[in-house]
């Protein structure tokens, strides 16, 4: 099942993508995660992307499309995938459709997660990620027992560099201008499923599975 997750930063799509990926047994593919790994590895791609990511702007389409093609054509994607954070504009959506049709495949469903800006700001501002095991916490909704220590492995909890107020506001603006129009793109194709992103993660998972007929 080839799925796209559409939603603003802070809509909880990453959390749900991880849960649904385990439930359906298909890989969770996040270009943001791939880019952060490239930055960590100090690669050429990481060097190019870092200043753009720090501002909350979009990395150029040609680079993202090439990166995603490389990932989607790997063997573990044959049974389907969840794309979390791609496509993020019309050019990427068209590029994805062309890429998939070249592989005799297509987008099956686009799940859109809707949240208020207030909810998104709270989720992103409170988000802390373990620097060792990658576990997610939130100072407001899922607080760690000790403020900057991971409950699971004892690693140090960090705030993402682009989770600051100024960058969050730009990311929300970029989402509204570039990504939100994709709602119409997939609606016209009869592929859009809307889910209330403000529900608890487990409830969102149940809703998503029900909507997908699972």
Catalytic residue flag (residue 88): yes
Min CB(120)–ligand AMP separation in Å: 11
Instruction: By CB under 6 A, tell whether 31 contacts ligand AMP.
Output: yes
Q: Which of 18, 122, 160, 194 is catalytic?
A: 160
Nearer to ligand AMP, 86 or 109 (CB): 86
Catalytic residue flag (residue 194): no
Taken in order 135, 140, 143, 149, the sign of the CA dihedral is positive
Q: Rounded to an integer, what distance in angstroms lies between the CA atom of residue 205 and that of residue 128?
A: 22
List residues bridging with 22 in a β-sheet.
none
List the one residue from 59, 93, 96, 115 that touches ligand AMP (CB under 6 A).
59
Let me know: does 136 contact 156? Beta carbons within 8 Å.
Answer: no
| Total chain residues near ligand AMP (CB under 6 A) | 18
List residues bridging with 110 in a β-sheet.
4, 192
Instruction: By CB under 6 A, tell whether 12 contacts ligand AMP.
Output: no
- H helices then E strands: how many in the chain? 9, 8
Min CB(138)–ligand AMP separation in Å: 15
Instruction: By CB under 6 A, tell whether 91 contacts ligand AMP.
Output: no
């Amino acid at each position: 099942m080839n799925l796209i997750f559409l939603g603003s930063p802070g809509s909880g799509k990453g959390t749900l993508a991880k849960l649904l990926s385990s439930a359906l047994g298909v890989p969770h593919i996040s270009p943001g995660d791939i880019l952060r790994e490239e930055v960590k590895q100090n690669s050429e791609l990481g060097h190019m992307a870092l200043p753009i990511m720090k501002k909350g702007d979009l990395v150029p389409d040609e680079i993202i499309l090439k990166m995603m093609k490389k990932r989607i054509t790997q063997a573990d994607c044959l049974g389907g995938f969840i794309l979390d954070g791609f496509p993020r504009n019309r050019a990427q959506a068209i590029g994805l459709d062309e890429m998939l049709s070249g592989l005799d495949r297509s987008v099956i469903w686009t799940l859109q997660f809707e949240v208020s800006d207030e909810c998104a700001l709270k989720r992103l501002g409170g988000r802390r990620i373990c620097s060792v095991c990658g576990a997610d916490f939130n100072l407001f909704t899922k607080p760690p027992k000790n403020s900057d220590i991971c409950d699971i492995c004892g690693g140090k909890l960090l705030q993402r560099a682009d989770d600051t107020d100024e960058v969050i506001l730009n990311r929300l603006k970029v989402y509204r201008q570039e990504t939100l129009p994709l709602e119409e793109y997939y609606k016209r194709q009869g592929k859009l499923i809307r889910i209330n992103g403000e529900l608890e993660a487990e409830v969102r998972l149940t809703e998503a599975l029900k909507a997908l007929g699972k």
